Structure 1
Amino acid sequence: MNKPIIGITMGDASGVGPEIIVKSLAHTDILERCHPIVIGDLKMLERAAGLLQADFKTVKIDSDFNFNKLEDNKVYCYDLDLIPEDLAFGEVSATAGDGAFQYLKTAIELANSEKIDAICTAPLNKEALHKGGHNYPGHTEILAELTDTEDFSMMLSSPKLKVIHVTTHMGLIDAINSIEPERVLKVINLANDTLKKAGIQNPKIGVCGINPHAGENGLFGYGEEEEKVIPAVDKALGAGVDVEGPLPADTLFFRAQRGDFDIVVAMYHDQGHGPIKVLGLEAGVNITVGLPIIRTSVDHGTAFDIAGKGIVDERSMLEALNQAIELAPKK
């Protein structure tokens, strides 16, 4: 079986992206299991290797490269050459924000043309992205637009817990207003289909309520569970999906991590992100489901406060690479 080709986007070059890439690709088992192609700026990788005192060698490639000529145990860099050498660490930069967008756009083009088998993304900075002229909430929305995908969701995966989101990057009031039964049903089905493809024959899905205690029969809120969640759960049950809810979020996540459920459907960003991150930032992986291409990501930000210090923990990137390798189409 041929090894999958994993495109690794550098993210915001002012952050820890280059460092976690260098640290992760120093793990020889990754090179034994895939062909990694870093999509970014070669000089930023070399700068990161220098501050880490790492013996990190890459092969520079461009659009003329023959992807059938990849060699084992080598790291390739699809060098876009967008970032100045003196880019400051840990600062919001329009140049770095635009660079992060261009790296991802290039990776999507390579995936669409079947030159790479999966995308693994280092973090970008949303403020820098906007300053760079790209008004998206984050990676997920860029991927959806550039692949013409309407039904998608963010899934966070860790060894003990998987969470998929009905809404993500919006304010809490807007998130609650935007929740509709059709969207909840789509996310339940995305969760079910994704886990079945991963080998779980009959996934057990727990669905969060919106209000404390899932509304407690109208005691809390204004009937959001009855209006927005229950119709979706009932339809999914009718279609044979093993789903339960709406359930109180304060106990559902505990039950899921002990094994009662294979995945939790969270209603909004912090409802789902909080439990995953309590279990450990180094263990979490962000997977965009519903796309025509595989995309995984670290579950942390650009960490501007420690960028350039060589102390970032690469374990989330390692796990994201492992997930990309596992999920990539088999040849």
Structure 2
Amino acid sequence: MINFQYLRTTTAKSAIALLLKDKNSKFIAGGTNLIDLMKRGVTAPDKLIDINHVPLKQIEQIGNNIIIGALASNTAVAENALIKEKLPLLAMALNAGASAQLRNVATIGGNMMQRTRCGYFYDTEMPCNKRVPGSGCGAIGGFNRMHAILGTSEKCIAVHPSDMCIALIALDTTVVLANSKGERKISFKDFHRLAGDTPQLDNNLKPDEMIIRLEIPVNNISKKSHYVKVRDRASYAFALISVAAGLEITNNKITDVRLAMGGVAHKPWRLTASENFLTGKEATNENFEQAAKLAMEGAKGYGENDFKLQMAPNSIIEALTVAKSKA
């Protein structure tokens, strides 16, 4: 790992000012992903700007929104009584991720910013358009068991690794960003990017911005929500397929439904067509199967990950079925 300069700041304004002074600097909070990338030589910032002392750890309800500061730890959010009551889908997704030790230090903002766990991205001897644009995608035609089946491009088939983000996109979250001029808000569904022709860009965060908080509207799906994560082992493993599902059922009809998948795309994948199909219909297995079928339109396997084409719809049906059964 190369030498770097370490700086500490206590305000978002000063953090952004320091970031703008050196384009090759990075914010560090928990560092659970960044330090790994530095050790592997995937990234080599000249400066690390420690933002842990910026007061962004709040978890509170203001009006109809739950506010979560970007520096709140994954554990603090998952174990918070307000989150467990009003946003249990988020708590379930957070507890499905990483290990207890990592959740204790990983932050909400850092979780959003983590990069793919694709082996070709981490191995600096292998071609990877995310790491070195134009070098090729080793996963296409290579070892791609963990890789994407939706929204792929010829440049990259890596998947977004977060569990938390799958719940956040299903919950209609808004991301609040600070910059040198003030603040701007962006829908969570627009925060992350598909690979397209620029797989090196994971999100739409601008060079002078930092995540400061999330705003999540209170909903009526809290009682009937479920998070499914299919993985190779019971803990500390990334999703082969994950599904966040939430239902509101009135007089046996679905009046609100939230569906999103992980392990399938370069960004958290919202299942809008499936949601639209289910809205107003009865919560039957037949309708769940049709919604799962709609979710797979355009899906494509790359050899070793072909099994996801069946695992994904089965996981959607499971998530909806379990969510429906909850009191």
TM normalised by structure 1 equals 0.22
TM normalised by structure 2 equals 0.22
**Higher-RCO chain (CA-CA 8 Å, sequence separation at least 6):** 1
